[in-house]
Amino acid sequence: MADKHREEAEKWLRILRNGTDHYGFIGYVRDEASEGGFSLEDLGTSDAELEKLRVKSCKIRAQKCLGYLRDGNDKFGLLPDIIRAELRSGGFSLADIGTSEKELVSFAQVPA
């Protein structure tokens, strides 16, 4: 049974390391390690790496949302707020994802 938990933890860790906008997978890594009775170190990772992966995921999510905005895909007008939330959570700036406040504001929907 521990082998199954290890395989699952390693799968989620691999996805995180490859880059995903789903930082909730970090919880899966932790849960599988806990349920399997092994440590993060046994998986070849650490709390510090998982935090770096969380920040990386925040940046990926912000960049994805920016891409959707640039493609005109913000049906509900929520993406600028999601981008700002990810920036705060990850501790980086609009410049770090290749945009500015001016561009972000330009996406504001004008009522018809």
Express each pLDDT in 3-31 by its tens digit: 999 999 999 999 999 999 999 999 999 99
Name the percent of the chain lying above pLDDT 70. 96
Q: How far apart are CA 82 and CA 6, in angstroms?
A: 33
For residue 110, pLDDT over 80 is answered with no
> Tokens 């290890």 label which residue?
6
CB count, 10 Å around CB of 63?
Answer: 17
Tell me the C-alpha distance between 111 and 11, whole Å.
45
The pLDDT tens digits of the residues spanning 78-92 come to 999 999 999 999 999
Which pTM was predicted? 0.90
